[in-house]
Amino acid sequence: MSCQNNEVIDIAKDATAPTQEKAYDFSKDVTIAAGQTRATLRIHADSEAELAAYTAENFRLVEVNNAESLEDALVRNRIVNTNERANAAEADDELLENEAEVTSSLAFELVEVSNKVEGKRYAVSFFHPESNSRASWQYFTHYSTAGQDLEPHCDVARHSFWRRVYYGVKYRRTSSSNWSVIQNEWRKLSNNQTMSYTKTPCYQYRTRVKTKKSSAYTVSFY
């Protein structure tokens, strides 16, 4: 594990965002594993306290067979419970889709995967620390590794019956491009639903998630 100060993620200026460039004051790397495969996940935060709250236990590296969907992999790895049905209480949430974009104090990057297994790709399931204010919405940003010319796909999945998930997706074609909207914030994910996007060429994705409580969603860039 390493900790750095004044980390700035490699992002272009975004004319549609409230702030054109996001700088994080602190960052650290954690190692997560699936079998013999090891991955480095970089966490960016606005405060040392937020950064310190995260360890490798807050993430799970998920192997996805090339012939299966992310949803199938989450079921196979027992992250998704197929016996859970729709949560009736979510009917009151529809107006939340109209909320304006909100900046987040935490961001995540899967910067390296070593000892990859042939015929598999990788996703990360997030188990965020419980906040003191469980009723509050939390906002998280996820970046693909910049320059991923051969990895133009983005999947976002919800894997919790109880924890509601909204998301938005942007991408940029080249290192000098502005961010372009693929999916406006905030689109709601239903229980066990996966949304997939492909852009070619694609230099980088930015996926934003709004959720409550800890375990709610999985992100994959490949």
Residue whose structure tokens are 């990360």: 124
Residue 10 has pLDDT above 80, yes or no: no
The arithmetic mean of pLDDT across residues 7-14, rounded, is 40
pLDDT tens-place string over residues 35-73:
999 999 999 999 999 999 999 999 999 999 988 999 999
Q: Is 145 a residue whose pLDDT tops 70?
A: yes
Confidence at residue 6, expressed as pLDDT on a 0 to 100 scale: 37
Residue 19: count other Cβ atoms within 10 Å of its Cβ.
10
> First vs last Cα of the chain: how many Å apart?
24
Among the ranges given (99-103, 138-142, 143-147), the one the predictor scored with the smallest mean pLDDT: 99-103
Sequence spans of domains, the chain: 2-221
pLDDT of residue 130: 77
The mean per-residue pLDDT over the stretch 128-133 comes to 73
205 has a pLDDT exceeding 60: yes
Q: Are 222 and 196 in contact (CB under 8 A)?
A: no
Q: Is the pLDDT of residue 8 over 60?
A: no
- CA–CA dist 51, 44 (Å, integer): 7
Instruction: Return the pLDDT at 209.
Output: 94
For the segment 82-107, the average pLDDT, to the nearest whole number, is 67
DSSP 138-151: EEEEEEPPTT-TT-
